[in-house]
Amino acid sequence: MKTTIATLLTASTILASPAFADILDLEKEDLTLGFIKLTDMAPLAVAYELGYFEDEGLFVTLEAQANWKVLLDGVISGELDGAHMLAGQPLAATIGYGTEAPIITPFSMDLNGNGITVSNDIWAQMKPNVPLMEDGRPQHPISAAALAPVVEDYKDRGEPFNMGMVFPVSTHNYEIRYWLAAGGLEPGYYSPQDISGQIGADVLLSVTPPPQMPATMEAGTIFGYAVGEPWNQQAVFKGIGVPVITDYDMWKNNPEKVFGITKEFAEENPNTTLALTKALIRAAIWLDENDNANREEAVQMLSRPEYVGADAEVIANSMTGFFEFEKGDVRPAPDFNVFFRYNATYPFYSDAIWYLTQMRRWGQIDETKPDQWYFDVAADVYRPDIYLQAARMLVDDGMANEADFPWDSDGFKVATPAADIIDGIPYDGRTPNAYIDSLPIGLKSGQTVTNGRVDG
C-alpha cells in the first residue's frame, strides 16, 4: 500500500476570521446531504447551523432518511450528494456486497457512540450472572457470558432468541456479534445463498431502523438491540430496557460513522469535496474543543425535529460525558462520543480493514482474501489524502492547529492492545488474516459457509 504523507509546513497558531480564508473555486455549490436520526450526525448539523458550509461557499440542504438502504440508494443515484454513513456501507458497496457502487470517504465522523440494550425482562434474567461492585451495582463491562444461560433456556424451550441491529454492514451488527462471540454465543453466519446472517446462530439478529428500536423491543418482537444514541438512553427514560454495555467498553475508541460520497462525485467535484471536508473538520473541532464545552449547545441543536428529534434530556444523557445504565445508575463516560480528539476524523486504513475482517469473519466475504486485498480495498475507499489537503488549508487559514493532525501517518493506527478490547484479543490492521484467525468464533482461513454449515 502506498504511504500518504503530507508536506510539513509552518503555520500560524493565531486563529483567523473565516472571512479572510480563500474560497475554493467550487464545481457545485448547491448540495443535498442525507443523514439518519442519530447523535453522531452532529458534525453535519453543526456545520450547517454555525455557517461552516456557507463559509466555504456551499449552500447545503440536510435531509433525514428513512433507513440506511434508502440513504445509500440516494447517494448512488445522485439524489443525495453525500451522506452520514455506516462505515461498512462504502466498503460493502465497493466490493459489491449488496448494491455495487464505488463510494469513498474523506472524513470519519466519530468514535464510539453505540450501546447494546436488553429488555427489562431479559435484564432480570441476566442480572444474577453479573458480578457486583461493593456498592451493589453491576460491574461493567458486562460480558455476553451473562446472557448465555438465558439464551440456553430459550433454546431448551424451543423459542428463538431475537435481537436487533440496524443494517447488515453496520458497526452495530459487527459490535453485537463481537460481544456475543466474546461471551461464547454464536451470532450466525452469512453465505451467498443465505443472507439472513442466522446460519448456526444462538441469537437471531435482524434489521430494525434506529428510531424504531425501543418500540420494537417494547412490543416484544426483539429482546434487545445494538444501536447508536439516543436510542439506548431512550429505553432507560421510557423504563423499558437496560443498556448492558457501550462500544467504548467493548473496544476503546472504536471507529464509527463516515461521511460518504461517490468516487465519481469526488473526481468531478474535487474542490467541492475539499470544501465539504473542511467544513466538517471545523464542526468536529467545535464539538470537542475545550473539554466538550459546546456539547450542551449541540444537544439543543440535535433535539430539534429536523435533526434527531429526541428530547434534549435524553440526548444529553450520553453526549455530555455521562451514560445511564439502569435507571439512576449514571456513570462518567467522557469519551462516549468523540468527534475530533484522538484523530477521530482521520480516515485510517486500519479502521476500514477492521470492518472488512468482520465481514469475512461472518461470511459476508465468502472466501479467504490475501492481506494485500484488504490493504487495496481500504486505500480505494478511505481517502486520507483528501482529508489532509483539507486540513492543510484550514491550518494555513488559521482555523485549525498544526499539531491536531497526523501529517506523517501511513494510514495505520498503532495496534489496539488486548487490554482495550473485551475479549482480550489485540487488533493490528497490518495483519488482517492473522487477526481473523486469532478470533475463537468465526470463519478462519480456508473456511466457507456452504449448505448451511461451515466447511474447511
pLDDT in tens, 293-303: 999 999 999 99
105 falls within a domain? yes
Together in a domain, 293 and 391: yes
Report how far residue 128's alpha carbon sits from residue 148's, in angstroms, rounded to the nearest whole number. 12
Together in a domain, 196 and 309: no
> What pLDDT does 21 receive?
59
pLDDT at 47 over 50: yes
Confidence of residue 19 (pLDDT cuts 50, 70, 90): very low
Strand 59-64, strand 30-35: pairing: parallel
Q: What is the pLDDT of residues 340-390, one digit of tens each?
A: 999 999 999 999 999 999 999 999 999 999 999 999 999 999 999 999 999
372 falls within a domain? yes
349 falls within a domain? yes
Together in a domain, 285 and 190: no
* Number of domains the chain contains: 2
430 falls within a domain? no
276 and 29 in contact (C-beta within 8 Å)? no
Report how far residue 296's alpha carbon sits from residue 227's, in angstroms, rounded to the nearest whole number. 22
- Where is the domain boundary, 249, 264, 288? 249
397 falls within a domain? yes
Give this prediction's pTM: 0.94
What are the phi and psi torsion angles at 56 (to 5°)? -90, 5
Together in a domain, 157 and 187: yes
- Where is the domain boundary, 249, 266, 287? 249
Full domain range(s) for residue 245 = 114-249
45 falls within a domain? yes
Together in a domain, 243 and 338: no
Together in a domain, 242 and 129: yes
288 falls within a domain? yes
Together in a domain, 297 and 215: no
> 23 CB contacts (<8 Å, ≥6 apart)?
56, 57
Together in a domain, 362 and 392: yes
CATH number, domain at 54?
3.40.190.10
Neighbours of 121 (CB within 10 A): 13
Report how far residue 443's alpha carbon sits from residue 445's, in angstroms, rounded to the nearest whole number. 7
Together in a domain, 55 and 176: no
pLDDT at 13 over 50: no
> What pLDDT does 23 receive?
84
DSSP state for residue 418 in the 8-state scheme? G
Together in a domain, 144 and 232: yes
Together in a domain, 265 and 400: yes
Together in a domain, 143 and 231: yes
